[in-house]
Every structure is written in C-alpha cells, then in structure tokens.
C-alpha cells in the first residue's frame, strides 16, 4: 500500500529522515497486541516485535522498521491516553496520531452526561479535535432534548445524533474528517462502534452483538485496536470498549472541557477561588449542580496526578492532614467523642 493512503506526508518524511538508512523503512502501525504490532509498509504488512530500547508502539504510530523488528517510534503528534491500571502513576497510550476523536455514546441506557465530560477532557488532552456522536437515536423518542443537554455541556464541540442501523447515510460523521486524516472511535462497550465501522466501510468487516436489555451494556466485540482506510480517503481506528477511563490530563485540558467554568471564574472576587461557595464566587450558583460536581471530581483527580508526580507535594499534603487530625484529637469538642 502506498504510504500516502495511510496519512504519510512531508512532515512525517522529515521526522523519518534522521532514522533513514539502507535497512530501515517507514511504516504505520495498523494493529497492536502487546509484544507484537502489525505494521503496514509500502512492501506490505509485517508483524514485528519492537526493539528493547524502543518506545512501545500503539495503533496509529509511524515507525522505522527493519526486517526483524520495529527500531524506532517517530515522535507522536497527538496521543489519546489514560492512567494505567493499578496504583502505578503511569500513562497508557491507547492510540496515536489521531486528528479527530469521536466520542461515542448510546442514547439508550448508556447515556451519561458525566461520562461524556470525562471523555471530552481526555480528548482535549490528546490534542485531537473532539466530536461527540450520540448513537441509537431510533430508540430514543426524546433524543433532541438529550442532544441539547450534551451541547450545553460540551460548549462548541460538534454533536452528531445518528442511528448506525437505520440512517441511510452517515455523512454527518464523515463530514467531520478530511481526506488523509485519522479518526478514532472511543466509548463504552455496546454503544455501536463496530456497527458504525461496518456502515462506514460499506461491508460487514467487524462482528457485532446485541446489548443486554436490562442495562443496555454491551460485550466486547472489538478486542484489539485496528486502523482501516475508508473509501472516502480518511482513516479510522476502532477501539475496544473502555470499561474505565482513568484520567491522564492536566489543568489546561480541564479548562478546555469546562470552558464555562473557566469563563465564569474570571469574575470571581478571589483569584484562587475554589468555587465551593467562597464569598464573591461567580461559579457557584451559576452552573448546574451536577456539572459543577463533575468539575470538582475531575479537578481532584488531576490534582491527585500532580501530587503523584511531585513526591514533595504529596508528603506536604499528608503532613497537613496529620496535623489537622492531631489538632482535632486534642480539641475539647472532640476529645470525648
């Protein structure tokens, strides 16, 4: 396959130039499964391990390969990440070099505004353009009201309502991506991502399964990330359903995802206002209660990440709370409780 069909351009050629040598060839990772990755080159697909000193490649990466292995991962333009499982404070990159992040949610029992806010925060952190896709409009009589609610929460981000099984055309989705760009589908299991991929491809390439009737939750039909070239000339990465999206983000991404909070905060009396009912707070009372609670929850997660990155800050916080508990323990009001 010609690399241009995979998104290769002069910028990637320049990034590859420092790795150019007779035995090295450029390619793009079209599927990854841990130890091995499938790489598309101009000479065809290769399934290869990566070198010991090489960054672990993920779907969407551009790489330099030899006959035996992946030698280098080219610098990523964007990356969609989450915090790794367990107690490790490490980034897990799910996909790389994405131009558009489609955040897919079902308009059935999967519908959850707070989850959309979390996905949107991760999308802004990734560097990709977020687009919210609300699927299954055919089984949701009040879908216009839900679309309006999502639009109020995502503030200027495109929101597309569709039925992957019923709509004659998915042009509203395809219209969000330019030829040569790469998009990815993110969402829970059962939201219809595999059905969307099949419709966009015009072929039943991926298996699909019905969701459970009691809670609209689905089972994984996509088990690994894979990149596909669509007939319109853009590329799509289908992601397995995410049971949990642990944040890997910073304050700047939070302000982008909650632009309304950021704008109102500029009117607060105090510059360090926490928006928890402080005097002169312009945010408290101006924002829907659930949205403000979501903001505070995500803010606490980001602050937790920051403290994990800064052991001194974490130690200072622990010392602060030890002193608070010690003071309370000896306070006459609490001494006999």
Domains in the chain: ranges and CATH? 3-73 (2.40.50.140), 79-238 (3.40.50.300), 251-330 (1.10.40)
In terms of Cβ atoms closer than 10 Å to its own Cβ (0-12, 13-18, 19+), residue 69 is: middle
pLDDT band at 330 (very low <50, low <70, confident <90, very high): low
pLDDT band at 254 (very low <50, low <70, confident <90, very high): very high
The arithmetic mean of pLDDT across residues 211-219, rounded, is 48
Using one digit for the tens of pLDDT, what is the confidence trace for 53-87? 999 999 999 999 999 999 999 999 999 999 998 77
Please tell me the distance from the alpha carbon of residue 227 to that of residue 236, in angstroms, as a whole number. Answer: 6
Using one digit for the tens of pLDDT, what is the confidence trace for 27-40? 999 999 878 999 99
Say if strands 235-238 and 182-186 run parallel, antiparallel, or are unpaired. Answer: parallel
In terms of Cβ atoms closer than 10 Å to its own Cβ (0-12, 13-18, 19+), residue 28 is: buried
The arithmetic mean of pLDDT across residues 3-28, rounded, is 92
Within 13 Å and on the Cβ side, how many CA atoms surround 309?
Answer: 12
Three-point CA angle 56, 62, 68, nearest 5°: 65
Spatial CB neighbours of 173, under 8 Å, sequence gap ≥ 6: 102, 131, 133, 160, 162, 196, 200
Say if strands 100-106 and 226-229 run parallel, antiparallel, or are unpaired. Answer: unpaired
Is residue 174 over pLDDT 80?
Answer: yes
Using one digit for the tens of pLDDT, what is the confidence trace for 263-298? 999 999 998 899 988 999 999 989 899 999 999 999
The arithmetic mean of pLDDT across residues 1-11, rounded, is 93
As a whole number, the mean pLDDT across the chain is 87
Report which of residues 23 and 230 the model is more confident about.
230
Is residue 18 over pLDDT 90?
Answer: no
Percent of the chain with pLDDT over 90: 68
Is residue 184 over pLDDT 50?
Answer: yes
**pLDDT score for 78:** 98
**pLDDT score for 220:** 44
Q: Which of 5-9, 202-206, 212-216 has the weakest average pLDDT?
A: 212-216
Q: pTM for the whole thing?
A: 0.84
Please tell me the distance from the alpha carbon of residue 255 to that of residue 269, in angstroms, as a whole number. Answer: 19
**pLDDT score for 321:** 47
Spatial CB neighbours of 319, under 8 Å, sequence gap ≥ 6: none
**148 C-beta neighbours (distance < 10 Å), count:** 11
Percent of the chain with pLDDT over 70: 85
The DSSP code for 209 is -
**pLDDT score for 133:** 96
Please tell me the distance from the alpha carbon of residue 52 to that of residue 187, in angstroms, as a whole number. Answer: 32
Is residue 149 over pLDDT 80?
Answer: yes
């Amino acid at each position: 396959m010609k690399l241009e069909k995979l998104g290769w351009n002069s910028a990637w050629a320049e990034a590859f130039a420092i790795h150019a040598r007779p035995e090295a060839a450029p390619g793009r990772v079209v599927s990854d499964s841990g130890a091995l990755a499938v790489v598309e080159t101009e000479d065809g697909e290769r399934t290869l391990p990566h070198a010991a000193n090489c960054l672990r490649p993920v779907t969407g990466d551009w790489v330099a390969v030899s006959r035996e292995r992946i030698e280098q991962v080219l610098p990523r333009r964007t990356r969609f990440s989450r915090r790794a499982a367990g107690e490790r404070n490490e980034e897990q990159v799910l996909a790389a070099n994405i131009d558009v992040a489609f955040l897919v949610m079902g308009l059935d029992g999967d519908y959850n505004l707070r989850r959309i806010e979390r996905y949107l925060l991760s999308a802004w952190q990734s560097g990709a353009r977020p687009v919210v896709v609300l699927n299954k409009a055919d089984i949701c009589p009040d879908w216009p009201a839900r679309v309006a609610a999502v639009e109020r929460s995502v503030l200027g981000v495109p929101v597309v309502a569709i039925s992957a099984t019923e709509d004659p055309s998915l042009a509203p989705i395809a219209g969000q991506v330019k030829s040569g760009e790469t998009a990815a589908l993110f969402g829970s299991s059962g939201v219809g991502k595999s059905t969307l991929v099949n419709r966009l491809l015009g072929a039943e390439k991926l298996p699909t399964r019905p969701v459970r009737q009691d809670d609209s939750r689905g089972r994984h039909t996509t088990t690994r990330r894979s990149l596909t070239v669509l007939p319109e000339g853009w590329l799509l990465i289908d992601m397995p359903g995410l049971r949990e999206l642990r944040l890997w983000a910073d304050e700047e991404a939070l302000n982008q995802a909650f632009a309304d909070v950021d704008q109102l905060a500029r009117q607060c009396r105090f510059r360090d206002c926490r928006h928890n009912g402080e005097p002169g707070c312009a945010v408290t009372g101006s924002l829907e209660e659930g949205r403000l609670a979501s903001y505070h929850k995500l803010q606490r997660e980001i602050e937790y990440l920051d403290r994990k990155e800064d052991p001194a800050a974490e130690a200072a916080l622990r010392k602060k709370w030890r002193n608070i508990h010690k003071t309370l323990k000896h306070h006459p009001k609490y001494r006999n409780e």
